[in-house]
Amino acid sequence: MQNPNTEKEFRQAVAVCRALFASKLKDYGTSWRILRPASLTDQLYIKAARARTLQTCGKALVDEDQTDCFIAIVNYALVGLIQTELGAAMTADLSNDVALSHYDRHAEESLQLMLRKNHDYGEAWREMRVSSFTDIILQKIFRTKQIEDHDGHTQVSEGVAANYQDMLNYAVFALIKLGVAKAS
């Protein structure tokens, strides 16, 4: 049975991610437009690997915790979806408002995908550990790298965009479990 708070919690977690994304747009504009999908996949790897290191050793020498890592994974996955759709540019060619419009649309599409899958899987993610989300995200990253190494061609598997959506959704689940979103 689907928890009635799941959609609300998802939206709350994404709102936290979006607020940071919007603030960074004010600082940097859409400089990320130059990143090719493989570079974004590597950025996702850096953040997921950092989360795993923090979970394993429990000690950080830089002021960033695993919550920050999962927020970054959500934002990089959404940038990846935008870049997969638009392609990389040689300049920051989007206004902040247009970038946020793309961000919101892809976040909503990912939410709808999560709700469909969540219905079929019966909220199983609620019984999972945050460390498992990290491992699954890392697995999705390695799958994405394989697809990218094959020029985006797959025989039976979903493509890069589907993997970005899954990474985003698992990162949101982690944020919910870490208390970023509250059911009420």
In this predicted structure, what is the pLDDT of residue 184? 54
Helix axis angle for 96-121 and 6-28, nearest 10°, is 160
pLDDT the model gives residue 41:
96
pLDDT in tens, 23-70: 999 999 999 999 998 999 999 999 999 999 999 987 777 878 999 999
Question: Is residue 2's pLDDT more than 80?
Answer: no
Mean pLDDT of 10-30: 98
Is residue 106 scored above 80 in pLDDT? Answer: yes
Is residue 5 over pLDDT 70? Answer: yes
Neighbouring CB atoms inside 10 A of 161's CB total 20
pLDDT given at position 37: 87
Of 60 and 8, which is predicted with more confidence?
8
What Rg do the C-alpha atoms of the chain give, in angstroms? 16
The CA distance from 24 to 30, in Å, is: 9
pLDDT by residue (tens digit) across 124-156?
A: 999 999 999 999 999 999 999 999 988 777 777
- Confidence (pTM): 0.94
Give me the mean pLDDT over the 81-90 stretch.
96
Q: Which long-range contacts (CB under 8 A, 24 or more apart) does 55-60 make?
A: 55/130, 55/131, 55/134
How far is it, in rounded angstroms, from Cα 101 to Cα 93? 14
138: which residues sit within 8 A by CB, 6+ positions away? 45, 48, 49, 52
Sign of CA dihedral 64, 106, 171, 80: negative
Please name which of 178, 168, 112, 149 lies closest in space to residue 37, comparing C-alpha atoms: 149
Say which residue, 80 or 181, is predicted with more confidence.
80
Q: Quick one: pLDDT band at residue 118, thresholds 50, 70, 90?
A: very high
Neighbours of 31 (CB within 10 A): 12
- For the chain, the average pLDDT equals 93
pLDDT of residue 1: 59
Among 75, 66, 64, 15, residue whose Cα is nearest residue 40: 75
Half-sphere exposure of 8 (CA within 13 A, CB side): 7
Question: 18, 107 in Cβ contact below 8 A?
Answer: yes
> How far apart are the C-alpha atoms of 133 and 30, rounded to whole Å?
29
